[in-house]
Amino acid sequence: MAVALKQVFNKDKTFRPKRKFEPGTQRFELHKRAQASLNAGLDLKLAVQLPSNEDLNDWVAVHVVDFFNRINLIYGTVSEFCTSSTCPIMSGGPRYEYRWQDENKYKKPTALPAPQYMSLLMDWIETQVNNENIFPTNVGTPFPKNFLQVCKKILSRLFRVFVHVYIHHFDRISYMGAEAHVNTCYKHFYYFVTEFNLIDNKELVPLKEMTMQMCH
């Protein structure tokens, strides 16, 4: 029996605490504008386009944080069913396996169970978005030169969460009646990353057939 979405997507289910924008800042205003477009039912392809006279880095920063929060929440709803025994490797079906690599413990790409991979991924993204040198919150503080490259890496790794959830846990999403919500979030994400070329096409291949049906 489908559970009400409000119960499914509540703050207690969030895999990580939500990152918020400071009221009164430029990014908070952009966040509100982006949310208003979505809530008004605007075509998602149009909703992701850069508003006139706005800075691309600001627009990308707002969306990266928003997608982190949303995808975090989606994974949180299935995380109790994603265990080391059900998902011994982080994958998207038999053809796609994702290995974890970072600058600390895992210097080389390492095969890990999906829940461990997800935990490391969310920790890593949280560290990036809370780093003032990468995601400055003060108006007038410039973004670093490699800002878009950092965002590309974050978004390509967040895409892997969609791959794993859709291929291995979608029965659970459907059972909870959250299918429409997850699909809308995915479409929003897909239109955004393709609008600004933020994910390599080869990274998008695991969900290519589904995306063609859903987004074209």
The predicted-structure confidence for 143-167, as pLDDT tens digits, reads as follows 999 999 999 999 999 999 999 999 9
The confidence score (pLDDT) of residue 12 equals 45
Does 164 carry a binding-site annotation? Answer: yes
The confidence score (pLDDT) of residue 138 equals 77
The confidence score (pLDDT) of residue 6 equals 42
Q: CA–CA separation, 14 vs 112, rounded Å?
A: 22
Q: CA–CA separation, 101 vs 136, rounded Å?
A: 25
The confidence score (pLDDT) of residue 27 equals 57
The confidence score (pLDDT) of residue 216 equals 73
The confidence score (pLDDT) of residue 54 equals 85
Q: CA–CA separation, 42 vs 110, rounded Å?
A: 41
Q: Which class does domain 5-215 fall in?
A: mainly alpha
Least confident of 33-37, 80-84, 158-162, 187-191: 33-37
Does 82 carry a binding-site annotation? Answer: yes
Q: Where are the domains of the chain?
A: 5-215
Q: What share of the chain is helix, strand, coil (3-state, %, to 5)?
A: 60, 0, 40
User: Packing angle between helix 114-129 and helix 147-168, nearest 10 degrees?
Assistant: 150
In single-letter form, the type of residue at position 85 comes to: S
Element (H, E) at 75: helix 56-78
pLDDT tens digits, 24-74: 555 555 656 556 555 545 688 888 999 888 889 999 998 999 999 899 999
Does 215 carry a binding-site annotation? Answer: no
Which token pair is 140? Answer: 């007038």
- Mean pLDDT over the full length of the chain: 85
Q: Which residues contact 13 (CB under 8 A, 6 or more apart)?
A: 73, 76, 77
Q: CA–CA separation, 214 vs 203, rounded Å?
A: 17
